[in-house]
């Protein structure tokens, strides 16, 4: 699920039901994942470039809902892994900031996309390096990411609803309100 700040960056505002839908989303994910607590060995989170307690502390400051679940899984034996490269994160954030400028152009967009692709590949390589054969890991990431893990890793998506659909629906509602004003 998007955090408040991620959603606001993408849409400019929050839907009235954002907090309620966020709680429903995380409750659903928690119910599904806690069944496997104790068997989950690795936790990955996009945007995390620190492992262990330091990584969890960073997560707590940006996404308290995700932190609560990740902390519960760590308390039951999982390891919180550094998932991304700090420099790649900074680079993509810089390109994204430039995209919001009136002077942005197609090249800026393409460079942003290229950086995000590099980040996605880095995340996939971190999972490949750290997830043991027959291991179980959980990857939390925003829906716009395109992380393709190795073929021998089975992926199961656990989500009450697709947050990207929720975001697009809100964008359509905003556009219709603006057109009718």
Phi, psi of 3 (to 5 degrees): -80, 170
Please tell me the distance from the alpha carbon of residue 18 to that of residue 53, in angstroms, as a whole number.
Answer: 29
* % of the chain surpassing 90 pLDDT: 63
How confident is the model over 127-155, as pLDDT tens digits?
999 998 889 999 999 888 899 998 888 88
Mean pLDDT, the chain, whole residue set: 91
Nearest CA-CA partner of 83 in 133, 47, 107, 136: 47
Nearest CA-CA partner of 42 in 133, 157, 142: 133
pLDDT score at 20: 94
pLDDT class of 32 with cuts at 50, 70, 90: very high
pLDDT class of 58 with cuts at 50, 70, 90: very high
pLDDT score at 5: 85
pTM of the model: 0.87
pLDDT score at 130: 95
Please tell me the distance from the alpha carbon of residue 6 to that of residue 48, in angstroms, as a whole number.
Answer: 15
Residue 99, pLDDT above cutoff 90: no
């Amino acid at each position: 699920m998007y955090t408040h700040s991620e959603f606001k960056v993408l849409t400019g505002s929050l839907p009235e039901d954002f907090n309620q839908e966020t709680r429903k989303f995380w409750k659903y994910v928690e119910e599904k994942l806690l069944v496997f607590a104790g068997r989950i060995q690795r936790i990955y989170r996009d945007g995390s470039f620190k492992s262990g307690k330091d990584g969890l502390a960073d997560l707590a400051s940006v996404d308290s809902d995700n932190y609560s679940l990740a902390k519960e899984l760590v308390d039951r034996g999982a390891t919180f892994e550094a998932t991304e490269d700090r420099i790649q994160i900074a680079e993509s954030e810089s390109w994204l900031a430039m995209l919001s400028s009136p002077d942005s152009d197609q090249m800026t967009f393409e460079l942003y996309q290229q950086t995000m692709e590099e980040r996605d590949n880095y995340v996939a390589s971190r999972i490949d390096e750290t997830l043991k054969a027959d291991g179980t890991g959980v990857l939390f990431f925003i829906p716009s990411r395109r992380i393709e893990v190795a073929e021998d890793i089975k992926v199961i998506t656990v989500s009450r609803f697709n947050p990207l659909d929720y975001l697009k629906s809100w964008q359509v509602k905003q556009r219709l309100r603006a057109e009718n004003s």
